[in-house]
Amino acid sequence: MKTIALLLLAFLLLAVSPFVYYMGISFSQGYDVENALRYYFADRQTGTTIGEDKVPVVSLEVTWAGDVENHRLLEASGLAQSSISPGILFSINDSGNDPELFALDSRGNDLGFWKVDTEKNVDWEDVASFMFRDEPYLLIADTGDNFHWRPTVEFIIIREPEPESLAMDAILPVEWKIEVEYPNGYRDCEAVAVDEASETILFISKRVVPAEVYRVPLKPSTLQVKATRMALLNTIPQPSEQDKWEDPKYGLNRSQPTAFDIRGNKAVVFTYKDAYLFKRGWRDNWIDAFSKVPARILLPPVYAQEAGLITRSEKFLFVTSEREAGTNRIGLYRVKL
């Protein structure tokens, strides 16, 4: 009897150990555990979006560009094209990995990686390239918040490195950081873009229906700012019954925004299944553009597709994904617009 009791106690300790571990981390980092518990047990209300039949499907040429060569890039969570060398792409790993920036070419070949001079990768979810005052920069979005317990999230801005001239053991300094607070409760975010014309950062909530678009200045006068909600993406349809039938485990998530990019008058929102192309007319602002029905672009059916970009030429999309457990290969795909 005593042996059975000890075994039950050991099982209970093993079961709660991950919870205790995460709670310990949260308290040490100043996270809002009370809100996380409320979020976990809440009966979440959702809004409505238009039906999938209302969104025109655009069938475009999709090609496999190559495999992502660097196996250190395990969980590609963002993708950006160099502002000065179009053949170079940059990527980052998701949370739980070192704070590193990776470079690869347009066929997935490894060009090296560097450490970013910041404390850690809390939950890096996207990367964006942009020109600011005639200088090339990259923005790293430390904005993931699965548990809804981070009172603020962070944008990290670095100068774009030059792979051919920068030593691979160099550390990339941070130019500035922006600490962001949401105006209406905590949000998880994996989709971030920079609008160069307005010098604004736009970012999209992931787990709210419909998804919300927020904005903050690219170079604010203070280090901590409150985001402004500017639009609702109720033109991105929610999963169909077929999605749920085809993938009972993850089909419900297929419409969640996982990446975002802006070039000129085009904005592309990537989800786990498709991409949605919004176009801004010459008289429109982005609020106007996001109120219109986008074009739905079919993407390759791959695991955990969380990284995408639109090239500076506005002619192509590139997408890639995380490495599925036990899988050594992940593809880099090009979509011709």
In the predicted model, is pLDDT for residue 169 greater than 80? no
- Give the model confidence (pLDDT) of 99-132 as tens digits: 999 999 999 999 999 999 998 999 999 999 999 9
Report the distance separating Cα 81 and Cα 86, nearest Å. 6
The fold of the 49-336 domain, in CATH, is Neuraminidase (2.120.10)
Q: How confident is the model at residue 32 (pLDDT cuts 50, 70, 90)?
A: confident
Of 16-25, 159-168, 213-222, 265-274, the poorest mean pLDDT is in 16-25
> What's the chain's average pLDDT?
89
Domain ranges of the chain: 49-336
Note the pLDDT of residue 30: 77
Nearest one of 173, 165, 197, 191 to 305, comparing CA atoms: 191
Question: What is the C-alpha R_g of the chain?
Answer: 20
Helix (H) or strand (E) holding 171: strand 171-172
Of 3-7, 50-54, 90-94, the poorest mean pLDDT is in 3-7
Note the pLDDT of residue 5: 53
Q: Is 27 helix (H, G, I), strand (E, B) or coil?
A: helix
The two structure tokens encoding residue 316:
């192509």
Amino acid at 297: I
- Give the model confidence (pLDDT) of 64-101 as tens digits: 999 999 999 999 999 999 999 999 999 999 988 999 99
Q: How far is CA 190 from CA 94, 144, 202, 244, in A?
A: 10, 6, 11, 22
